[in-house]
Structure 1
């Protein structure tokens, strides 16, 4: 008869042994399948059931015994508790799976058959009815059990942790310790799922994989050599990698395999203390095989382990401490465990000779290495303890909730087994209680126990004892800012790292001032560091790209910070500005002295020659030219920007027009003196004045049009100079600026040409040759001004224009007026009409 109840599965978040629960009138029997070959020669139960047929030699993991004690302790507590299953005695059966699918299927069928032989679907009575199953420590064993139970629709409370890898990945990527890690995963479907999960999660958070290795499995003895060779290659690859962090995902016994790695290498490991930061998931248990008793486990010293949060139930330590082969007759496992753990044998009364050390029974469990046995409950054992209590509370609730459940009491009969399965499943999903450790055990809507993870630092001493130090916690139910906590300062790292926080990256971090450039064909964590280009910075390590500073800032020399730009303009407070101002004022003063000298000697022939009024106009204009330079010094204002270029253009045009007028006057004067010349009518002040006024008005019209269309204005230039913000007068339209310069240049070229043609005319008052030199200087200055103006930036552009103004004005002043001042001041005897006439006669 096959039960038709629907399968019921609940997840208990945390590894624990498969415990199979029976319903029997008057008693509940809990049966268990040990997840791997835990004991050498027997699988006898505490209820003294006959053991199944077992192989004579097995690879043994003595630590499994603690999980059995957790089960026995939980049953003992429940039987001694008056408010849980009162008047009912709880018992259990235990079978061994030998990590073998065939053996696991057989053990599960024996549980279902109600006899100590496999008779599926045979029901002879209502006693020893299997009512529920608690899943196994190893996922594959739980899967094998579930395959059979699914046929019979028996509720299963299974523990196959699926989120440990994701939680671990969350913590690592949140804390961002390392970006270059290796991964070792068990070689099965769960391992593949884990690798797929962490590969995606870690990659999204900037973590790359140096290697991904599989923990090999073997089904036959003949495969051991291949497994060892694979392990040797794995070890050498791990130790030669630059990755200092290795993430391990496996079954509970995987640590025992990892202990093989140092002994499988082809290299001498005697003095090699190199290690890695080993990170283990909650599925892995710190355990060893029997033959690894004296193996050094300090390779894993400083490991970071994720374990299910637990507290030792009250009385468990004392319960374990009093376990002894001499006072626990009902314990069918303790003698085998004792012999394997302490490497001794109990004398056999039938044997004539005993080989090996004799077990006295007085050995102390606390002296065993941590990989063999721990006096305190581990996370795996705690899960078993909580699972038994969860099932007991569910059965208690089912037996007391309604009168129809009276059949579950001692001596009753259960007529509808399917209904029992459904009721048990429903109650398990809604059960909530406080266990003896004071923790609340309850299931969420997904049937998962709301449990947190502790982050444990393994400290392994030379005597192989294990000390677990809690360094952090992951609590999915806490607020987001408190979900992950860790204290790096209390972590003890492997001595290889000299107690410094280990560094694990494919490439040294790119320092501020540089950015990452991924190496072609390599993971994105492997990159070169390149200096930020000019104008950009990076102010953090490992930046993917450099960023530009704002317009108000510029990069430092190291290109790691932005420095505020200084405000720059040609001011009176800096040496360049004050120097130009002094030069301008000095030339203005000299011009004033020259003008005063000419005014004082206005009746002398040398002053009267070549149009006295034009001479005064030119001197006044040169004075204004020198003073005009002062408009360009100081912080640009609206009014100064409007006056700068317009004043400069008009004043200089007047000055050049005066020079042109003087030159034309000289030529006309000599031409008009020839007999029969018609030029006499043009000689006089009227022509000179007309030249000055007309030429100046044209320039004034150009400047007026400029001011009307696009006048100059104060502007801020943030881009021309990398470290300065330039305050300047924007000319508005460059075309009009160059129109002013071009017109002034045209006047200067005409003046130069006319003066050059008249340079050899005889007369001591002939100014043509002096004007020629002055125009040569003037044109040279302004021709060199254009490229200089275009090639400089900031206040130096203004300085170039001021220098051109001063140099060209000084050229006019010096070349035209210095010879006359020389005669007036130093050679006054030459400044008379008689002397001039005699000199002219001598020249003729």
Structure 2
């Protein structure tokens, strides 16, 4: 058994258990061994046991439930006819002593007479038990043998010489001894039977014998004193009459060239009568996408198939470990190969991008249309009274604000990442600067009506242009510093989603981004405060209340933008930023210019100096 376990390990065969049993052990040991066999997952069992031990074991296993096993037998029992009554061993296979026919042996046995049998205690016992008679006539209750017994009529193992195995070994051994004796007492010319010899001389001659028996077996010995190993591969198969029998299906001959010692000469019937080699594994092979995990306390061939963890694959059967996919790859559904991660960004063909693009172009078109109407009616009182120069500049900046949102759509690149944030920051400061300038003009215009006030000389057109330029230039300097120190750049976000890559613009310097956004917020708050202070000035001339409402919307949008921007995943982060740009821009153009546009186009009668000066009765309006 130790040699078998070593050979099995070298051949990669996994042995689930190895138990020992001897017929003198208590019955509890036998039951324990039988239960080990029944409970095991192994379907092939190799039994190295003597006839007596095997008899007890098979008797115990024949009790229900009888396991369906593929038995591999040892030479001592695999060809023993007594065991053919155990049908559960159907398909058993093993190497045994070759069967043979000894010439003249059957005839010799059948010529035995009562007188010959009487001379041999063994033959005497055989004769009396076979014919149920007494050769000496001294046994009470048993008839005397009368000489008419016919040994040829018997049907028992004695007369069956077709399964001679060990008898043939005795036959060859007897002839080997005879040849050795002949070599000692005979020379080339004559034999002297009176020659004295020592035992070592017989042994020396025995080592050199080389002859062939009458039934065709070669007899000789190697340097170790061993004969050539020749075995018959025996298979237990059912015959046509339904009886179980030994069928030779192959051989082992050590005298053949290396690698050709074993040969198959017949069809092997395995357990259950199947012709395919039975599969006996403790655990089925682990398919790709899983790994092997050895079961505690069991052999290495007993394992569980554990699915690979998230982000890992195994592309081989019976993999011991799973491997991580590269950062830009993700396992397929079966987890047996890594596929490139899908790249996500707000592309032009995305439905959300198309909607935002439509709103962006619509806003820009609205700004251009309003600018065209204002330019056409630039000499009208309502346009001149609301600071036409800043109004046109504001409409121009709003057009840029609407269009700059388009830079956020598409695959991020180095230039687009730098352009989208700087363009957004500068255009919005230009826009808020114009609104702030309009608010200051409105506020100062009413203060100038106070006696002795000459404040308007500090808020004329040159000063307005200069203030807008100064505010915008400050933002441009902030953007330039940002781009110089740590500009935005394209970035593959691998952490947000495990199975896809978010392609986005990294801010570079977060301080630069929040400085740009904070500066816009500062101007917006300042504009809101000034417009709020001027909200109670005369209605017909005052647009401060519209600016107040527009700044209220603007600040609300961007205050809401901050948490939405931080919490939005993937491409929706960009969408939130575009939405904030469009919402605040629409708020400005609708609140500031919609009332004036409506009067110019649909109520031209109100576009008069008297109406603006409040000299028309309200009921006439």
- Whether the 8 Å CA contact 2:136–2:144 is kept in 1: the answer is no
TM normalised by structure 2 equals 0.76
Deviations 1:291-349 (A, max 9, x none): x57x731222234x4538x988xxx45749956612599999x99699989x9458664
2:594 matched residue in structure 1 = 818
2:136 counterpart (321, 341, 350): 350
Q: CA 1:526/1:282 → structure 2, altered by over 3 Å: closer, same or farther?
A: closer
Superposed displacement of residue 632, structure 1? 2.0
Deviations 1:602-649 (A, max 9, x none): 112222234322211221111112211222222233332332222222
- Whether the 8 Å CA contact 1:726–1:794 is kept in 2: the answer is yes
2:514 matched residue in structure 1 = 738
Gaps of 5+ in 2: none
| Separation of aligned partners in 2, 1:491 and 1:582 | 78
1:260 counterpart (59, 64, 67): 59
Larger Rg belongs to:
2
Deviations 1:822-843 (A, max 9, x none): 1111111111112211358979
- Whether the 8 Å CA contact 1:537–1:547 is kept in 2: the answer is yes
| Separation of aligned partners in 1, 2:466 and 2:3 | 100
1:296 counterpart (85, 110, 113): 85
1:57 matched residue in structure 2 = none
SS at match of 1:214: coil
Q: CA 1:420/1:376 → structure 2, altered by over 3 Å: closer, same or farther?
A: closer
| Separation of aligned partners in 2, 1:468 and 1:660 | 109
SS at match of 2:536: coil
Superposed displacement of residue 229, structure 1? 4.4
- Whether the 8 Å CA contact 2:269–2:275 is kept in 1: the answer is no
SS at match of 1:716: strand
- Whether the 8 Å CA contact 1:251–1:284 is kept in 2: the answer is yes
SS at match of 2:95: strand
> 1:561-640 counterparts in 2 under 5 A?
562-640=338-416
Q: CA 1:733/1:248 → structure 2, altered by over 3 Å: closer, same or farther?
A: farther
1:703 matched residue in structure 2 = 479
| Separation of aligned partners in 2, 1:756 and 1:473 | 112
> 1:407-426 counterparts in 2 under 5 A?
none
| Separation of aligned partners in 1, 2:235 and 2:517 | 82
Deviations 1:404-427 (A, max 9, x none): xx99x96699999889989999x9
2:578 counterpart (793, 796, 802): 802
Superposed displacement of residue 650, structure 1? 1.6
1:235 maps onto 2:19 in alignment: no
Superposed displacement of residue 699, structure 1? 1.8
Q: CA 1:414/1:726 → structure 2, altered by over 3 Å: closer, same or farther?
A: farther
Supply the RMSD in Å over aligned alpha carbons: 5.4
Q: CA 1:753/1:237 → structure 2, altered by over 3 Å: closer, same or farther?
A: same
1:689 maps onto 2:465 in alignment: yes
Q: CA 1:468/1:423 → structure 2, altered by over 3 Å: closer, same or farther?
A: closer
| Separation of aligned partners in 1, 2:493 and 2:90 | 62
Q: CA 1:297/1:346 → structure 2, altered by over 3 Å: closer, same or farther?
A: same
2:565 counterpart (789, 792, 808): 789
| Separation of aligned partners in 1, 2:414 and 2:170 | 87
TM normalised by structure 1 equals 0.58
1:249 maps onto 2:249 in alignment: no
SS at match of 1:459: strand
| Separation of aligned partners in 2, 1:611 and 1:536 | 66
| Separation of aligned partners in 2, 1:465 and 1:823 | 115
- Whether the 8 Å CA contact 2:380–2:608 is kept in 1: the answer is yes
SS at match of 1:725: strand
Superposed displacement of residue 485, structure 1? 12
1:535 maps onto 2:311 in alignment: yes
SS at match of 1:213: coil
SS at match of 1:285: coil
> 1:19-30 counterparts in 2 under 5 A?
none
| Separation of aligned partners in 1, 2:278 and 2:418 | 66
Q: CA 1:581/1:842 → structure 2, altered by over 3 Å: closer, same or farther?
A: closer
Count of aligned positions: 601
| Separation of aligned partners in 1, 2:230 and 2:494 | 56
2:6 matched residue in structure 1 = 166
Deviations 1:323-381 (A, max 9, x none): 6612599999x99699989x94586643474699x77345678xx79xx9995787x99
2:545 counterpart (769, 779, 783): 769
- Whether the 8 Å CA contact 1:256–1:288 is kept in 2: the answer is no
Superposed displacement of residue 538, structure 1? 5.7
1:653 maps onto 2:429 in alignment: yes
1:325 maps onto 2:103 in alignment: no
Q: CA 1:740/1:417 → structure 2, altered by over 3 Å: closer, same or farther?
A: farther
Superposed displacement of residue 593, structure 1? 0.8
1:724 matched residue in structure 2 = 500
- Whether the 8 Å CA contact 2:176–2:219 is kept in 1: the answer is no
2:67 matched residue in structure 1 = 275
Gaps of 5+ in 1: 1-160, 175-201, 219-225, 264-268, 401-405
- Whether the 8 Å CA contact 1:668–1:682 is kept in 2: the answer is no
| Separation of aligned partners in 2, 1:746 and 1:331 | 131
- Whether the 8 Å CA contact 1:610–1:665 is kept in 2: the answer is no
Superposed displacement of residue 449, structure 1? 9.7
- Whether the 8 Å CA contact 1:168–1:281 is kept in 2: the answer is no
Q: CA 1:758/1:465 → structure 2, altered by over 3 Å: closer, same or farther?
A: same
1:213 maps onto 2:1 in alignment: no
Superposed displacement of residue 383, structure 1? 9.3
Q: CA 1:414/1:483 → structure 2, altered by over 3 Å: closer, same or farther?
A: closer
Greater relative CO, 1 or 2 (CA 8 Å, sep 6+): 1
- Whether the 8 Å CA contact 2:346–2:571 is kept in 1: the answer is yes
2:270 matched residue in structure 1 = 492
Superposed displacement of residue 571, structure 1? 1.9
Q: CA 1:562/1:385 → structure 2, altered by over 3 Å: closer, same or farther?
A: farther
Q: CA 1:167/1:766 → structure 2, altered by over 3 Å: closer, same or farther?
A: same
- Whether the 8 Å CA contact 2:314–2:337 is kept in 1: the answer is yes
- Whether the 8 Å CA contact 2:79–2:246 is kept in 1: the answer is no
Deviations 1:43-93 (A, max 9, x none): xxxxxxxxxxxxxxxxxxxxxxxxxxxxxxxxxxxxxxxxxxxxxxxxxxx
Q: CA 1:675/1:789 → structure 2, altered by over 3 Å: closer, same or farther?
A: same
